[in-house]
Amino acid sequence: MKSPTTIVIGTRGSGLAIAQTTWVKEQLEKCHPRLRFETKIIKTTGDKLQKTRVAGPLPKGLFTKEIESAMLLGKIDLAVHSLKDMPVEETSGLLLGAIPKRADYRDALISRKETAVEHFGSSSTLVTNSPRRRHEIARLHPDFKWVAMRGNIDTRIRRFEETLEWSGLILAVAGLERLRPPVDGLVITPIPTETILPAPGQGALAIQCRADDGRTREIVTPMNHFATRLCVETERQFLAGLGGGCQMPLGTLALHSDGKIRFKARLYTDGGQLVEWDKSWLCNDAPAAAYALAAEWRSGTNCQTPPLAP
């Protein structure tokens, strides 16, 4: 029987997921020294499929379904997720209790020498499993070759180290900073958002709990960061306006300053056409305005994944 002073946190078993959950656990322990926080590792369908070498991104819900089921059954009290892995539609009975301050939202180039992606030659081969990253770079460098690769951060870095014909590997800065994997002999170079806009919610964590569990919701409230939540909700509402499950390559970035939200988005449509938005809204209006902007565009087009050259 679980003690009423014990809070169980559910997480995936990857190194990055455990590192993220450990950080949240430590912050909660500082806020609530009289409570005991435990971590419970739950294997998800996404984790199992991640080990395969089949190319292409996995649907977001595959990384959260089993954890959410455990929460609804009362086996865990809350869960820590990478926000960009979560579907925009909230699961019935669950909600996002807190979103901590966002880490670096940029993507990064991992290479064998210090260089920026624009300095690679036309015969260079880059590794990423993200159509968004691939289309963003191809917009500026259409002659690059591409390799799709799934797996956790350590696996991708190891395979990159072993494959000398690959020029660079692209991963999220936040994941690299949280996990701090060994990268001896490699160079990590953040990629400016002018080159690659991040995925909606990239760099942010989500603390999920049951909607009817007021006690846990109160416990996680100190972890909530207002500006981060407003920005990522704006990004995710834009995605929701596109249809939520739409798999088109989409980069978004919402930044908070002086009571306003500056929002940028780049979307690659069927056939590879680029559509760009650059807007500014009052803070309280931003999420709804982002949804309306995307929904208005979607009403006049089809939401399809653009083809990628082999």
Active site residues: 85
Query: Distance (Å, rounded) from C-alpha 279 to C-alpha 266?
Result: 12
Cα atoms in the 13 Å half-sphere on the side-chain side of 138:
21
Coil/strand/helix, residue 310: coil
239, containing H or E segment: helix 226-241
| Cβ atoms of residues 144 and 120 within 8 Å | yes
Distance from C-alpha of 208 to C-alpha of 98, rounded to nearest angstrom: 7
Any idea what the Cα angle at residue 69 is, between residues 64 and 74, rounded to 5°? Answer: 125
- Joined together, the tokens standing for residue 167 give 């020029």
The angle formed by the CA atoms of residues 236, 239 and 245, to the nearest 5 degrees, is 115
Please state at what angle helix 226-241 crosses helix 286-298, rounded to 10 degrees.
Answer: 20
Q: What is the dihedral of CA 164, 165, 171, 173, to 10 degrees?
A: 60
Look at strands 125-127 and 145-147 and give their pairing.
parallel
Q: Are 16 and 153 spatial neighbours (Cβ–Cβ below 8 Å)?
A: yes
> Quick one: the chain helix, strand, coil %, rounded to 5?
35, 25, 40
β-bridge mates for residue 205, sequence order: 82
